[in-house]
Amino acid sequence: MEQETILNIRDEKTYPPKPVYDPQVMNPWKNLISLLPFLLLFGMIYNWNINLLSMITGIILLHELGHAIAMKIFKYTDVSILFIPLLGGAATGEKLEASQKEECIVLLSGPLPGMILGMLLWIFPFELDWMNSNKLAVYLVVINGFNLLPILPLDGGRLVQNLYFKNNDTITRIFLFVSIGALMYYSIYAGEYTLLILPFFLVLQLINHFQAMKLKKN
């Protein structure tokens, strides 16, 4: 009995209680610091066109805030926004059991507000010294509309995958191949070679998918 008590005391000293993770303690917008390299690279590429820089950054921020707010509404934890230099942005969050409906709403909450705002600005234009509302309207609709294309990893592609292909491995692989081909074609045709990073990451995702399939068979 005494020996068992000594062992228990030793265990408590050797293995202290693990700290409890509290998602509320974390700053959900901490990754906004990634905005700095995003602005630096974007500014260097476009010769520090402040109007264009502020317009694109604002559109991306509005888009990602839409995702983040929807995640907060559906009780996602550790919600944050990340700016990705040369590519755009991403809103991330965690939830153990998000329903298909919730995931779809989160995906649409990014591009739809921007498109609606763009359409309103086109219908009700106004002029400022530093901004043309019609130009902003076009950028809002085009950028968010492009994001709704059914190609991974765009929101439209993730939406289609979530609705139809999530539990079908064969169609998922075909969808990944089509997305890789489409992104490579567009990147080379449009001369936007930085976008080739996207199909590269999709190739890695495809490799991981094949490895996961092998593990299932074994």
What does the pLDDT look like over 7-60, one tens digit per residue?
Answer: 444 444 455 555 544 444 445 455 667 777 878 877 787 777 788 888 888 899
DSSP state of 86: T
Mean pLDDT taken over the chain = 77
Q: How many distinct helices (H) and strands (E) make up the chain?
A: 9, 4
Q: What is the pLDDT of residue 107?
A: 93
DSSP state of 95: -
Q: What pLDDT, in 10s, does the model give residues 179-189?
A: 888 888 888 88
Residue 212, pLDDT > 70, answer no
Gap between the Cα atoms of 195 and 185, Å rounded? 10
Residues 6+ apart with CB under 8 A from 27: none
Per the DSSP assignment, residues forming a β-bridge with 88 are 84
**How distant is the alpha carbon of residue 161 from its chain centre?**
15
Percent of the chain with pLDDT over 90: 17
Contact at 8 Å (CB) between 33 and 82? no
- pTM tops 0.75: no
Contact at 8 Å (CB) between 183 and 190? no
Residue 198, pLDDT > 60, answer yes
